[in-house]
Amino acid sequence: MEKILKMGPSPHIRTKERVEDVMYDVVIALVPALLMAIYVFGMRALTVTVTAVLSCMVTEWICQKVMKQDIAIFDGSAIITGILYAFVIPAFMPLPYVIVGSVVSIALGKMVFGGLGHNIFNPALVGRAFVQASWPVAITTFYYDGNAGATVLDAMKRGLDLNGALLEGGNPYFQALLGKMGGSLGETSALAILIGGVYLIKKKQVDWRVPAIIIGTVFAMTALAGANPLLHILSGGLFLGAFFMATDMVTSPYTEKGKIYYAVGIGLLISAIRLKGGYPEGTAFAILIMNGVVPIINRYTAPKKFGEVAK
């Protein structure tokens, strides 16, 4: 008798790993950066982070209720969005702005597209872009050591003394690596973010090539432009964006070749904005722009279907 093989709907390859497992791995990876933020900015860093996380979770709960979806605010995705949004804003931003940005991150950056797995843009960066467009002074005013001042990237762009952007004197590379400098809450310590990034790579939650290509591209482009490439990669939101935002499974390409194009594009855009743009930092805008290009990248880098006949 002839056997009939039946194939059900995808996915056909399954693992025991759940969404929660992936999300909480990312939360664990963000802990070193949070601890460093508390060390640099004090308990205000924890206040801002908790406020953002709770605002994101409440907003998602409301949206899921309105949309009649299953309540899944503890799957970790809203928690990650809250932490990442808090990490890309100043530690002393007024809490009402923190809440508004968190609501926008979830409502407009995620739920308006249908929820987890359907959003086109990184939700935390959508919230940051909204706040930057609405209250540009609040999101570009950085307090550290009790005073407001320029960040390292801003100082380099305007030709200012770097010591004014560092918490302590001494080697600027060492200070930038540790995070003893002005900047957004969770992006100052390249070392802390690198530790979290290595953890995610070891857990196979991110493709190491994406952050490596982004950071390498920025290093090469800033070196070619005659800037300080080492300070460029250690300062600002480059490490945070490369390891935790550009690698987002939902908003990044799913093909191997596509990931390379995507990462190079982000690196080139960051370099162009930092060197020639009006802002000293360009990581958030670069990732959002390339998020929008991902569907095109996926389309033109998709492998041929099994059994497909060439035209």
| Structure letter (DSSP) for residue 5 | -
Instruction: Give the span between the Cα atoms of 258 and 290, in whole angstroms.
Output: 11
Mean pLDDT of 27-33: 96
For the cut 80, the answer to whether the pLDDT of residue 8 exceeds it is no
Mean pLDDT of 49-70: 96
For the cut 70, the answer to whether the pLDDT of residue 40 exceeds it is yes
For the cut 90, the answer to whether the pLDDT of residue 4 exceeds it is no
**149: β partners:** 142
More confident: 167 or 257: 257
| Cβ partners under 8 Å of residue 267, min gap 6 | 213, 214, 215, 216, 217, 218, 221, 286
Query: pTM here?
Result: 0.89
Mean pLDDT of 133-140: 88
Coil, helix or strand at residue 178: helix
Count of residues making up the chain = 311
For the cut 70, the answer to whether the pLDDT of residue 279 exceeds it is yes
pLDDT at 130: 96
Computed from CA positions of residues 23, 193, 274, 101, in that sequence, does the dihedral angle turn out positive or negative? positive
Instruction: Give the span between the Cα atoms of 138 and 66, in whole angstroms.
Output: 32
Instruction: Give the span between the Cα atoms of 38 and 113, in whole angstroms.
Output: 34
CB 101 within 8 A of CB 196: no
Task: State phi, psi for 21 to the nearest 5 degrees.
Answer: -60, -45
For the cut 60, the answer to whether the pLDDT of residue 102 exceeds it is yes
For the cut 60, the answer to whether the pLDDT of residue 2 exceeds it is no
